[in-house]
Amino acid sequence: MSINQLFSGINFERTISRYAKHYGWLISEIDDRHAVIKFQMKSGRQQVLYIIRYDDTLEFSVPSLFQFDSEDEIPHHFSTLLLQRNAQTKIGFWCIEDINQKFIFSNMHNAELSFINRDYFGRVVSALVTECDDFEGTLLQLLDE
């Protein structure tokens, strides 16, 4: 079976479910084009990973708890911090996603289907949820000072 077939239609559900099961992750929502996996972190926060299939690419995204009603409200020093973090990571990048008319800092990774196997999937998912949780912890500490 080709990589493209592994992630097409009903096979998307089977493949993602099999990969998640290997790591002991429970999928909270899945269909033939997207999946949602929720993680309870050591910090006590929950991180939610979204996986969406676009043609020959999977988009992995973990929105942070930092959201703003308009672009003007986004603190530029947060954006600068995240651009600096982008230069230090090999998996994932920080971006601002427009989700339900909110501007949300999200950690994202886009991968061509041909690159994805169970190990790569596990590395991407772990890296994104950990990075998002670490970032939230850092910013929450800065905001408390």
Residues 51-99 pLDDT 10s:
999 988 999 999 999 999 999 999 888 889 899 999 999 999 999 999 9
Q: Are 125 and 60 in contact (CB under 8 A)?
A: yes
pTM for this prediction: 0.91
Per-residue confidence band for 6, with pLDDT thresholds at 50, 70 and 90: low
How many domains are there within the chain? 1
Q: Which domain holds residue 97?
A: 3-144
In the numeric block, which tokens belong to residue 125?
């998912």
Tell me the average pLDDT across 4-22: 83
Buried/exposed 87-114: b ≥16 CB within 10 Å, e otherwise: eeeebbbbebbeeeeebbbbbbbebebe
Does residue 3 have a pLDDT over 70? no
How many helices (H) and strands (E) the chain has is answered by 4, 6
CATH of the domain at 121: 3.30.1460.10
Given strand 27-30, what is the order of strands in its sheet? 27-30, 34-40, 46-54, 57-68, 102-112, 93-99
